Amino acid sequence: NYTEPMPVRWLIAPLLLCILNLQAGPHWVRIDKKTQTLSGWIFHTSFELESKPVSASIRLIFEKTRGTLQINGAIAHRISTEDAKVEFDALPYLRKGKNELWINANPSSPSKSSAIALELTGKDELGESFTIQTSPQWKSPLGEVLSQGDLGKEKWWTLPPLKIDEADDYTQWKRASGAKAGTDPKTFKLLPGFEANLIHSAGPDEGSWISLAIDEQGRLSIGREDKGITRFTLNKERTQIAQTVTINTDLRECRGLLYAHDSLYVNANQSKG
């Protein structure tokens, strides 16, 4: 009983589909320019939750636009042209069963520079995850919803959140203690327009650095874990250290530095008085 093998093209297609789905993010959306009205834009979608939601958050990004976001008839957020990105807890607005999202927007410019993107993520009481994202499949009574691009393809959209707590990466000091040089900045994840360069790696006689403050002249003050504070002055191009000065030698475990009111404030854990 011979069975003809499945063509390779049928094996590749599902694999590509899975990869594309993993990369997908919310789309920048706008209304077809030919159907715009004086009332602005309206976007709408609905979805079903089979059980009660227990967590939900929204990431809302807008460009040159103001208006409102409504969830199940309640105004969840008022969009301002001064804002660029908003994240907030959406759980109070969601419910088991049918849910509806409405975005009413007034773009400040009818050009392609105005657009909106939204992503709603959460979990229900059964532990099931759900994600709702703006896309051309959203509806509008004003005309066709157009996509200006997939945010899932943008590196800055997929960056991990900046918020950390005292337990995050707590054991990194073990890796640092045996390192011969500072972390390669090529491994950093940066937002567009930012650049990181390695200027200096602490030597064996410079101790462990645990705090940093920058004064009005742009000089870097470093608090050491053993004792003392070192100040570095960079060259004009800010590419290397031009001067190193020890400004304190007896304050122990300087875990906090702050320049304010023409003074340097130090939180030295192991020093009294």
Same domain? 29 vs 149: yes
Mean pLDDT of 135-158: 84
Domain span holding position 40: 22-153
The whole-number pLDDT of residue 84 equals: 67
What are the pLDDT digits (tens) for 163-175? 666 666 667 767 6
Mean pLDDT of 109-133: 85
Instruction: Please give the mean pLDDT across all residues of the chain.
Output: 82
Q: What single-letter DSSP state applies at residue 186?
A: G
What are the pLDDT digits (tens) for 11-41? 334 433 333 344 478 998 888 766 555 568 8
The two tokens of residue 225 are 């874990």
What are the pLDDT digits (tens) for 225-247? 999 999 999 999 989 999 999 99
CATH number at residue 105: 2.60.120.260
The answer to whether 116 and 64 have CB atoms below 8 angstroms apart is: no
Stated pTM of the model: 0.55
Q: Is residue 163 part of a domain?
A: no
Q: How far apart, in whole angstroms, are the C-alpha atoms of residue 18 and residue 26?
A: 17
Same domain? 246 vs 132: no
Same domain? 249 vs 131: no
164 compared with 195, residue with greater pLDDT: 195
Same domain? 124 vs 196: no
Same domain? 116 vs 205: no
Same domain? 127 vs 212: no
Helix residue ranges per DSSP H, the chain: 8-23, 172-177
**Range of lowest pLDDT (46-55, 104-113, 249-258):** 104-113
The whole-number pLDDT of residue 46 equals: 97
Mean pLDDT of 197-207: 87
20 compared with 123, residue with greater pLDDT: 123
pLDDT over 90 percentage in the chain: 44
Q: Is residue 71 part of a domain?
A: yes
Q: Is residue 26 part of a domain?
A: yes
81 has pLDDT over 50: yes
How many independent structural domains does the chain possess?
2
Residue at 118: amino acid letter: L
Same domain? 146 vs 252: no
Q: Is residue 181 part of a domain?
A: no
Same domain? 120 vs 225: no
The conformational region for residue 267 under phi > 0 = left, psi -120 to 50 = alpha, else beta, is beta
pLDDT over 70 percentage in the chain: 78
